[in-house]
Amino acid sequence: MSAEDPLLDQLDRQIILATQEGLPLSPQPYAVIANQLCCTAEEVMARLKSMLESGVIRRIGAVPNHYALGYKANGMTVWDVEDERIDELGERIGKLESVSHCYQRPRYLPDWPYNLFAMVHGHDRTEVEHKARQIEELLGDACHAHEILYSTRILKKTGLRIV
Amino acid sequence: MDELDRAIINHLQGGFPLCDHPYGEVAKQLGCSENDLLVRLEKLLNDKVLTRFGPMYHAERLGGGLSLVAMKIPPDDFERVAGIVNAMPEVAHNYAREHALNMWFVLATETPQGQQEALARIERESGYPVYNMPKIKEYFVELKLRA
Protein backbone atom coordinates (compact mmCIF):
# COMPACT_ATOMS: atom_id res chain seq x y z
CA MET A 1 0.00 0.00 0.00
CA SER A 2 1.36 3.41 -0.79
CA ALA A 3 2.37 5.86 1.90
CA GLU A 4 0.52 8.66 0.11
CA ASP A 5 -2.83 6.91 0.12
CA PRO A 6 -5.22 9.66 1.22
CA LEU A 7 -7.79 7.11 2.39
CA LEU A 8 -5.58 5.72 5.12
CA ASP A 9 -3.43 7.44 7.66
CA GLN A 10 -0.63 6.13 9.84
CA LEU A 11 -2.93 4.68 12.51
CA ASP A 12 -5.07 2.87 9.94
CA ARG A 13 -1.94 1.33 8.50
CA GLN A 14 -0.70 0.27 11.94
CA ILE A 15 -4.05 -1.37 12.66
CA ILE A 16 -3.92 -3.22 9.35
CA LEU A 17 -0.41 -4.45 10.14
CA ALA A 18 -1.38 -5.48 13.67
CA THR A 19 -4.36 -7.53 12.43
CA GLN A 20 -2.84 -9.17 9.37
CA GLU A 21 -2.45 -12.44 11.25
CA GLY A 22 -5.95 -12.05 12.64
CA LEU A 23 -7.69 -10.62 15.70
CA PRO A 24 -6.27 -11.43 19.15
CA LEU A 25 -8.14 -14.28 20.83
CA SER A 26 -8.57 -12.40 24.05
CA PRO A 27 -11.76 -11.10 25.70
CA GLN A 28 -10.97 -7.51 24.70
CA PRO A 29 -9.22 -7.86 21.33
CA TYR A 30 -9.46 -4.18 20.37
CA ALA A 31 -7.90 -3.13 23.66
CA VAL A 32 -5.01 -5.56 23.01
CA ILE A 33 -4.38 -3.91 19.64
CA ALA A 34 -4.72 -0.45 21.17
CA ASN A 35 -2.08 -1.31 23.78
CA GLN A 36 0.37 -2.32 21.05
CA LEU A 37 -0.26 0.90 19.14
CA CYS A 38 -0.47 3.31 22.10
CA CYS A 39 -4.00 4.45 21.28
CA THR A 40 -7.38 3.61 22.77
CA ALA A 41 -9.71 0.71 22.07
CA GLU A 42 -12.34 3.28 21.01
CA GLU A 43 -9.98 4.61 18.34
CA VAL A 44 -9.24 1.10 17.06
CA MET A 45 -12.97 0.34 16.83
CA ALA A 46 -13.72 3.67 15.14
CA ARG A 47 -11.02 3.06 12.53
CA LEU A 48 -12.18 -0.49 11.86
CA LYS A 49 -15.74 0.79 11.49
CA SER A 50 -14.73 3.46 9.02
CA MET A 51 -12.60 0.99 7.01
CA LEU A 52 -15.61 -1.35 6.88
CA GLU A 53 -17.76 1.50 5.59
CA SER A 54 -15.24 2.54 2.93
CA GLY A 55 -14.78 -1.07 1.80
CA VAL A 56 -11.09 -1.27 2.74
CA ILE A 57 -12.21 -4.08 5.06
CA ARG A 58 -14.71 -6.44 3.44
CA ARG A 59 -15.83 -8.00 6.71
CA ILE A 60 -14.54 -9.11 10.09
CA GLY A 61 -14.94 -12.80 10.55
CA ALA A 62 -13.69 -16.34 10.14
CA VAL A 63 -12.43 -17.94 6.95
CA PRO A 64 -13.35 -21.62 6.93
CA ASN A 65 -11.26 -24.26 5.24
CA HIS A 66 -13.87 -25.65 2.88
CA TYR A 67 -12.25 -29.09 2.72
CA ALA A 68 -12.50 -29.40 6.50
CA LEU A 69 -16.24 -28.55 6.30
CA GLY A 70 -16.89 -31.34 3.82
CA TYR A 71 -16.91 -29.18 0.69
CA LYS A 72 -14.52 -31.54 -1.06
CA ALA A 73 -15.37 -30.44 -4.59
CA ASN A 74 -14.21 -26.95 -5.41
CA GLY A 75 -15.05 -26.09 -8.99
CA MET A 76 -13.84 -22.97 -10.72
CA THR A 77 -16.44 -22.67 -13.47
CA VAL A 78 -15.28 -20.60 -16.44
CA TRP A 79 -17.46 -19.28 -19.24
CA ASP A 80 -16.94 -17.67 -22.64
CA VAL A 81 -19.63 -14.99 -22.53
CA GLU A 82 -20.42 -12.34 -25.15
CA ASP A 83 -18.71 -9.12 -24.11
CA GLU A 84 -21.83 -6.99 -24.64
CA ARG A 85 -23.83 -9.06 -22.17
CA ILE A 86 -21.24 -10.00 -19.57
CA ASP A 87 -22.02 -7.24 -17.04
CA GLU A 88 -25.72 -7.96 -16.92
CA LEU A 89 -25.18 -11.71 -16.73
CA GLY A 90 -22.27 -11.49 -14.29
CA GLU A 91 -24.46 -9.59 -11.84
CA ARG A 92 -27.18 -12.22 -12.09
CA ILE A 93 -24.79 -15.13 -11.66
CA GLY A 94 -23.16 -13.42 -8.68
CA LYS A 95 -26.55 -13.43 -6.98
CA LEU A 96 -26.95 -17.21 -7.22
CA GLU A 97 -26.67 -18.70 -3.76
CA SER A 98 -24.22 -21.35 -4.95
CA VAL A 99 -21.67 -18.85 -6.29
CA SER A 100 -19.13 -17.50 -3.82
CA HIS A 101 -16.98 -15.38 -6.14
CA CYS A 102 -17.80 -14.04 -9.60
CA TYR A 103 -15.41 -12.04 -11.74
CA GLN A 104 -14.79 -10.90 -15.28
CA ARG A 105 -11.18 -11.64 -16.29
CA PRO A 106 -9.17 -11.33 -19.54
CA ARG A 107 -9.15 -14.02 -22.22
CA TYR A 108 -5.91 -15.47 -23.63
CA LEU A 109 -6.86 -16.57 -27.13
CA PRO A 110 -6.57 -19.19 -28.44
CA ASP A 111 -5.54 -21.02 -25.22
CA TRP A 112 -8.09 -19.49 -22.92
CA PRO A 113 -11.41 -18.16 -24.31
CA TYR A 114 -13.12 -17.74 -20.93
CA ASN A 115 -13.90 -14.28 -19.55
CA LEU A 116 -16.34 -15.05 -16.71
CA PHE A 117 -15.25 -16.93 -13.58
CA ALA A 118 -17.71 -18.24 -10.98
CA MET A 119 -16.48 -20.24 -8.00
CA VAL A 120 -18.77 -23.06 -6.92
CA HIS A 121 -18.29 -25.26 -3.85
CA GLY A 122 -20.00 -28.60 -3.35
CA HIS A 123 -19.78 -31.69 -1.20
CA ASP A 124 -19.03 -33.67 -4.36
CA ARG A 125 -18.67 -33.12 -8.10
CA THR A 126 -22.30 -34.01 -8.78
CA GLU A 127 -23.38 -31.10 -6.61
CA VAL A 128 -20.95 -28.75 -8.38
CA GLU A 129 -22.18 -29.92 -11.79
CA HIS A 130 -25.79 -29.39 -10.75
CA LYS A 131 -24.94 -25.84 -9.70
CA ALA A 132 -23.01 -25.26 -12.94
CA ARG A 133 -26.11 -26.27 -14.93
CA GLN A 134 -28.04 -23.47 -13.23
CA ILE A 135 -25.40 -21.03 -14.44
CA GLU A 136 -25.50 -22.53 -17.93
CA GLU A 137 -29.27 -22.08 -18.10
CA LEU A 138 -29.00 -18.51 -16.95
CA LEU A 139 -26.34 -17.66 -19.55
CA GLY A 140 -28.26 -19.30 -22.38
CA ASP A 141 -27.05 -18.45 -25.87
CA ALA A 142 -24.77 -15.64 -24.62
CA CYS A 143 -22.31 -18.36 -23.61
CA HIS A 144 -20.27 -20.19 -26.25
CA ALA A 145 -18.26 -22.63 -24.14
CA HIS A 146 -17.52 -23.47 -20.55
CA GLU A 147 -15.40 -25.73 -18.37
CA ILE A 148 -15.22 -26.68 -14.71
CA LEU A 149 -11.72 -26.72 -13.27
CA TYR A 150 -11.62 -28.82 -10.12
CA SER A 151 -8.91 -28.27 -7.58
CA THR A 152 -7.00 -31.44 -6.82
CA ARG A 153 -4.71 -30.08 -4.13
CA ILE A 154 -4.21 -26.97 -2.02
CA LEU A 155 -0.55 -26.14 -2.60
CA LYS A 156 -0.62 -23.10 -0.34
CA LYS A 157 -3.22 -21.17 1.64
CA THR A 158 -2.43 -18.20 3.82
CA GLY A 159 -4.08 -14.86 4.36
CA LEU A 160 -3.22 -12.05 1.99
CA ARG A 161 -0.06 -10.28 3.09
CA ILE A 162 -0.68 -6.69 2.20
CA VAL A 163 2.27 -4.90 3.70
CA MET B 1 -16.63 -30.92 15.47
CA ASP B 2 -19.84 -30.73 17.42
CA GLU B 3 -22.95 -28.56 17.21
CA LEU B 4 -21.33 -25.65 19.03
CA ASP B 5 -18.33 -25.68 16.67
CA ARG B 6 -20.69 -25.59 13.69
CA ALA B 7 -22.70 -22.76 15.20
CA ILE B 8 -19.50 -20.80 15.82
CA ILE B 9 -18.32 -21.28 12.23
CA ASN B 10 -21.69 -20.33 10.75
CA HIS B 11 -22.11 -17.37 13.03
CA LEU B 12 -18.64 -15.89 12.69
CA GLN B 13 -18.31 -15.68 8.91
CA GLY B 14 -19.06 -11.98 9.03
CA GLY B 15 -20.34 -9.18 11.18
CA PHE B 16 -18.09 -9.64 14.20
CA PRO B 17 -19.11 -6.86 16.64
CA LEU B 18 -17.09 -3.73 17.32
CA CYS B 19 -17.51 -3.36 21.07
CA ASP B 20 -15.46 -3.82 24.25
CA HIS B 21 -16.26 -7.51 24.70
CA PRO B 22 -17.10 -8.77 21.20
CA TYR B 23 -16.44 -12.43 22.02
CA GLY B 24 -18.69 -12.12 25.06
CA GLU B 25 -21.45 -10.67 22.90
CA VAL B 26 -21.17 -13.43 20.30
CA ALA B 27 -21.03 -16.05 23.08
CA LYS B 28 -24.30 -14.72 24.47
CA GLN B 29 -25.95 -15.08 21.05
CA LEU B 30 -24.62 -18.63 20.79
CA GLY B 31 -25.59 -19.54 24.33
CA CYS B 32 -22.10 -20.40 25.53
CA SER B 33 -19.55 -18.64 27.72
CA GLU B 34 -16.95 -16.19 26.45
CA ASN B 35 -14.22 -18.56 27.55
CA ASP B 36 -15.86 -21.49 25.73
CA LEU B 37 -15.98 -19.45 22.54
CA LEU B 38 -12.32 -18.40 22.81
CA VAL B 39 -11.15 -21.96 23.52
CA ARG B 40 -13.21 -23.35 20.61
CA LEU B 41 -12.00 -20.67 18.21
CA GLU B 42 -8.39 -21.31 19.11
CA LYS B 43 -8.85 -25.04 18.53
CA LEU B 44 -10.64 -24.53 15.19
CA LEU B 45 -7.73 -22.35 14.06
CA ASN B 46 -5.08 -24.78 15.34
CA ASP B 47 -6.88 -27.69 13.65
CA LYS B 48 -7.06 -25.65 10.43
CA VAL B 49 -10.85 -25.93 10.22
CA LEU B 50 -10.64 -22.14 10.07
CA THR B 51 -7.75 -20.66 8.16
CA ARG B 52 -8.10 -17.19 9.65
CA PHE B 53 -10.12 -15.04 12.00
CA GLY B 54 -10.07 -11.26 11.73
CA PRO B 55 -10.60 -8.38 9.33
CA MET B 56 -10.55 -9.31 5.63
CA TYR B 57 -8.84 -6.53 3.75
CA HIS B 58 -9.64 -5.46 0.21
CA ALA B 59 -6.16 -5.43 -1.33
CA GLU B 60 -6.84 -3.11 -4.27
CA ARG B 61 -8.47 -0.50 -2.05
CA LEU B 62 -5.26 -0.50 -0.04
CA GLY B 63 -3.34 0.42 -3.19
CA GLY B 64 -1.93 -3.03 -3.69
CA GLY B 65 -1.97 -5.33 -6.68
CA LEU B 66 -4.09 -8.47 -6.69
CA SER B 67 -4.35 -11.00 -9.44
CA LEU B 68 -5.20 -14.57 -10.33
CA VAL B 69 -2.36 -16.22 -12.22
CA ALA B 70 -2.35 -19.51 -14.11
CA MET B 71 0.54 -21.65 -15.36
CA LYS B 72 0.85 -24.70 -17.56
CA ILE B 73 3.46 -26.93 -15.94
CA PRO B 74 4.54 -30.39 -17.16
CA PRO B 75 3.66 -32.97 -14.45
CA ASP B 76 7.27 -34.02 -13.90
CA ASP B 77 8.29 -30.44 -13.19
CA PHE B 78 5.22 -29.52 -11.15
CA GLU B 79 6.69 -29.90 -7.64
CA ARG B 80 9.75 -27.82 -8.45
CA VAL B 81 7.64 -24.95 -9.79
CA ALA B 82 5.15 -25.24 -6.90
CA GLY B 83 8.13 -24.84 -4.56
CA ILE B 84 9.25 -21.66 -6.33
CA VAL B 85 5.75 -20.17 -6.39
CA ASN B 86 4.86 -21.12 -2.79
CA ALA B 87 8.12 -19.69 -1.46
CA MET B 88 7.04 -16.20 -2.52
CA PRO B 89 5.33 -14.29 0.31
CA GLU B 90 3.22 -12.48 -2.31
CA VAL B 91 1.47 -15.77 -3.16
CA ALA B 92 -1.54 -16.14 -0.87
CA HIS B 93 -3.29 -19.22 -2.27
CA ASN B 94 -2.08 -21.78 -4.75
CA TYR B 95 -4.21 -24.62 -6.11
CA ALA B 96 -3.48 -27.53 -8.41
CA ARG B 97 -6.36 -27.87 -10.88
CA GLU B 98 -7.32 -30.47 -13.46
CA HIS B 99 -6.63 -28.66 -16.72
CA ALA B 100 -3.81 -27.94 -19.15
CA LEU B 101 -3.44 -24.76 -17.08
CA ASN B 102 -2.78 -26.80 -13.97
CA MET B 103 -1.49 -24.29 -11.39
CA TRP B 104 -3.60 -21.35 -10.21
CA PHE B 105 -2.51 -18.88 -7.59
CA VAL B 106 -3.47 -15.53 -6.11
CA LEU B 107 -0.72 -12.93 -6.12
CA ALA B 108 -1.05 -10.00 -3.68
CA THR B 109 1.58 -7.29 -3.85
CA GLU B 110 2.09 -4.03 -2.03
CA THR B 111 1.92 -2.05 -5.28
CA PRO B 112 0.68 -2.72 -8.82
CA GLN B 113 4.30 -2.43 -10.07
CA GLY B 114 5.32 -5.10 -7.57
CA GLN B 115 2.98 -7.45 -9.35
CA GLN B 116 4.90 -7.17 -12.63
CA GLU B 117 8.18 -7.76 -10.79
CA ALA B 118 6.82 -10.81 -9.01
CA LEU B 119 5.47 -12.24 -12.28
CA ALA B 120 8.79 -11.64 -14.04
CA ARG B 121 10.61 -13.39 -11.20
CA ILE B 122 8.31 -16.43 -11.39
CA GLU B 123 8.83 -16.68 -15.15
CA ARG B 124 12.59 -16.35 -14.78
CA GLU B 125 12.95 -18.88 -11.97
CA SER B 126 10.47 -21.42 -13.29
CA GLY B 127 11.19 -21.11 -17.00
CA TYR B 128 7.47 -21.08 -17.88
CA PRO B 129 5.18 -18.23 -18.93
CA VAL B 130 2.46 -16.93 -16.62
CA TYR B 131 -1.12 -16.21 -17.66
CA ASN B 132 -1.96 -13.12 -15.62
CA MET B 133 -5.72 -12.74 -15.15
CA PRO B 134 -6.39 -9.69 -12.98
CA LYS B 135 -10.08 -9.09 -12.53
CA ILE B 136 -11.68 -6.63 -14.93
CA LYS B 137 -14.86 -6.49 -12.90
CA GLU B 138 -16.10 -7.98 -9.65
CA TYR B 139 -19.69 -9.13 -9.59
CA PHE B 140 -19.75 -10.82 -6.21
CA VAL B 141 -17.44 -11.95 -3.44
CA GLU B 142 -18.79 -13.60 -0.35
CA LEU B 143 -17.52 -16.93 0.77
CA LYS B 144 -20.15 -18.38 3.05
CA LEU B 145 -20.17 -22.07 3.70
CA ARG B 146 -22.54 -23.93 6.00
CA ALA B 147 -20.66 -26.08 8.49
Residue B117's pLDDT is 95
Q: What is the DSSP letter of B57?
A: E
Nearest to B96 among A28, A49, A155 (CB): A155
Residue B141's pLDDT is 65
Q: How far is B115 from chain A (nearest CA, A)?
A: 12
- Would residue B51 count as lying in a domain? no
Average pLDDT on B115-142 reads 93
Per-residue model confidence as pLDDT tens digits over B61-120: 777 888 999 999 999 999 999 999 999 999 988 999 999 999 999 998 888 889 999 999
- Would residue A155 count as lying in a domain? no
Do A82 and A145 share a domain, yes or no? yes
Mutation to test the B interface, candidates A160, A161, A163, most B Cβ within 10 Å: A160
Do A79 and A47 share a domain, yes or no? no
Tell me whether A68 touches chain B (CB under 8 Å).
Answer: yes
Residue B145's pLDDT is 62
The tally of domains found in chain A comes to 2
- Would residue B24 count as lying in a domain? yes
Which helix (H) or strand (E) segment is A147 a member of? strand A143-157
Residue ranges in chain A modelled with pLDDT below 70: 1-7, 159-163
What residues of chain B lie within 8 A of the CB of A23, using their CB? 16, 53-55
Do A146 and A77 share a domain, yes or no? yes
**Domain CATH for B28:** 1.10.10
Nearest to A60 among B34, B54, B133 (CB): B54
CB B55 within 8 A of CB B65: no
Residue A112's pLDDT is 97
Residue A5's pLDDT is 53
Predicted-complex ipTM score: 0.76
**Could B21 and A27 be called an inter-chain contact, meaning their C-beta atoms sit closer than 8 Å?**
yes
CA nearest B82 in A: which residue? A155
The tally of domains found in chain B comes to 2
Tell me whether A42 touches chain B (CB under 8 Å).
Answer: no
Do B67 and B42 share a domain, yes or no? no
Q: What is the DSSP letter of A136?
A: H
- Would residue B147 count as lying in a domain? no
Mutation to test the B interface, candidates A53, A69, A84, A125, most B Cβ within 10 Å: A69
Residue A4's pLDDT is 46
pTM exceeds 0.90, yes or no: no
Tell me whether A30 touches chain B (CB under 8 Å).
Answer: yes
Average pLDDT on B5-29 reads 94
The range of the structural domain enclosing residue B75 comes to: 60-134
The range of the structural domain enclosing residue A18 comes to: 10-54
Do B65 and B34 share a domain, yes or no? no
Do B100 and B125 share a domain, yes or no? yes
